[in-house]
Amino acid sequence: MGVIIQKFGGTSVKNTERILEVAKKIVESKKMGNSIVAVLSAQGGYTDILLEKAHKISKTPKKRELDVLLSTGEQISIALLAMAIEELGESAVSFTATQLGIKTCSNHNCAQILDIDSKKIKQALEEGNVVVVAGFQGVDLHGNITTLGRGGSDTTAVALGVTLGAKEVEIYTDVDGIYSADPRVVKNAKKINRIAYSEMIEMAGNGAKVLHSRSVELACKYNIKIHLRSSYSWTKGSIIKGEDKMEKEVIRGITHSKNLSKITLRDTPHRLADVISTLSNEGYNIDIITHDFDPERGATISCILKQEILEKAFEILREKYPKNRKNLVHIPNLGKVSVIGIGVKSKGVAAQVFKVLSENNISIEMVSSSDINISCIIHQKDLEKAVSLLHERLIEEAK
Ligand code: ADP
Ligand code: ASP
Ligand code: MG
Give the number of the atom of ligand 2 that is nearest the alpha carbon of residue 148. 5
Give the number of the atom of ligand 1 that is nearest the alpha carbon of residue 192. 24
d(C-alpha 388, C-alpha 368), whole Å: 20
Q: What is the pLDDT of residues 21-57, one digit of tens each?
A: 999 999 999 999 999 999 999 999 999 999 999 999 9
Ligand 3 centre to CA of 300 (Å) is 37
Return the pLDDT at 385: 98
41 lines ligand 2 (CB under 6 A): yes
Return the pLDDT at 143: 98
Return the best residue to mutate from 41, 169, 231 for the ligand 2 pocket (most ligand atoms within 8 A of CB).
41
Atom 6, ligand 2: residue with shortest CA distance: 151
pTM attached to this predicted model: 0.94
Ligand 2 centre to CA of 222 (Å) is 23
User: Is the predicted pLDDT of residue 284 greater than 90, yes or no?
Assistant: no
78 lines ligand 2 (CB under 6 A): no
220 lines ligand 1 (CB under 6 A): no
Does the domain made of 253-396 have the CATH classification 3.30.2130.10?
A: yes
CA-based radius of gyration for the chain: 23
Return the best residue to mutate from 150, 155, 231 for the ligand 2 pocket (most ligand atoms within 8 A of CB).
150
Return the pLDDT at 84: 98
pLDDT, mean of residues 392-398: 93
Give the number of the atom of ligand 2 that is nearest the alpha carbon of residue 149. 9
Return the pLDDT at 167: 83
User: Out of 3.40.1160.10, 3.60.20.10, 3.30.470.20, 3.40.50.150, which CATH number does the structure's domain 3-174 have?
Assistant: 3.40.1160.10
Return the best residue to mutate from 8, 13, 77, 210 for the ligand 1 pocket (most ligand atoms within 8 A of CB).
210
Q: Which of 140, 153, 144 is nearest to 42 (CA)?
A: 153
User: Is the predicted pLDDT of residue 144 greater than 80, yes or no?
Assistant: yes
Q: Which of 278, 255, 249, 263 is nearest to 329 (CA)?
A: 263
Torsions phi, psi of 328, nearest 5? -105, 120
d(C-alpha 250, C-alpha 206), whole Å: 18
What residue segments make up the domains of the chain, in order of their start? Answer: 3-174, 253-396
Return the pLDDT at 186: 97
Return the pLDDT at 399: 65
d(C-alpha 60, C-alpha 35), whole Å: 43
**% of the chain beyond a pLDDT of 70:** 98
224 lines ligand 1 (CB under 6 A): no
Q: What is the pLDDT of residues 60-115, one digit of tens each?
A: 899 999 999 999 999 999 999 999 999 999 999 999 999 999 999 999 999 999 99
d(C-alpha 132, C-alpha 85), whole Å: 10
Q: Which residues contact 101 (CB under 8 A, 6 or more apart)?
A: 115, 116, 117, 120, 139
Q: 3-class secondary structure for the chain?
A: CCEEEEEECHHHHCCHHHHHHHHHHHHHHHHCCCEEEEEECCCCCHHHHHHHHHHHHCCCCCHHHHHHHHCHHHHHHHHHHHHHHHHCCCCEEEECHHHHCEEECCCCCCCCEEEECCHHHHHHHHCCCEEEEECCEEECCCCCEEECCCCCHHHHHHHHHHHHCCCEEEEEECCCCEECCCCCCCCCCCEECEEEHHHHHHHHHCCCCCCCHHHHHHHHHCCCEEEEEECCCCCCCEEEECCCCCCCCCCCEEEEEEEEEEEEEEEECCCHHHHHHHHHCCCCCCCCEEEEEECCCEEEEEEEEEHHHHHHHHHHHHHHCHHHHHHEEEEEEEEEEEEECHHHHCCCHHHHHHHHHHHCCCCEEEEEEECCEEEEEEEHHHHHHHHHHHHHHHHHCCC
Atom 9, ligand 2: residue with shortest CA distance: 150
Residue 374: exposed, middle, or buried by beta-carbon count in 10 A (0-12, 13-18, 19+)? buried
Give the number of whichever ligand sits closest to the CA of residue 178: 1
Return the pLDDT at 261: 97
Return the pLDDT at 215: 98
pLDDT, mean of residues 131-145: 98
157 lines ligand 2 (CB under 6 A): no
Ligand 1 centre to CA of 333 (Å) is 22
191 lines ligand 1 (CB under 6 A): no
Ligand 2 centre to CA of 149 (Å) is 8
Give the number of the atom of ligand 2 that is nearest the alpha carbon of residue 152. 8
d(C-alpha 318, C-alpha 139), whole Å: 37
Q: What is the pLDDT of residues 287-317, one digit of tens each?
A: 999 999 999 888 999 999 999 899 999 999 9
pLDDT, mean of residues 229-253: 86
Q: Are 117 and 101 in contact (CB under 8 A)?
A: yes
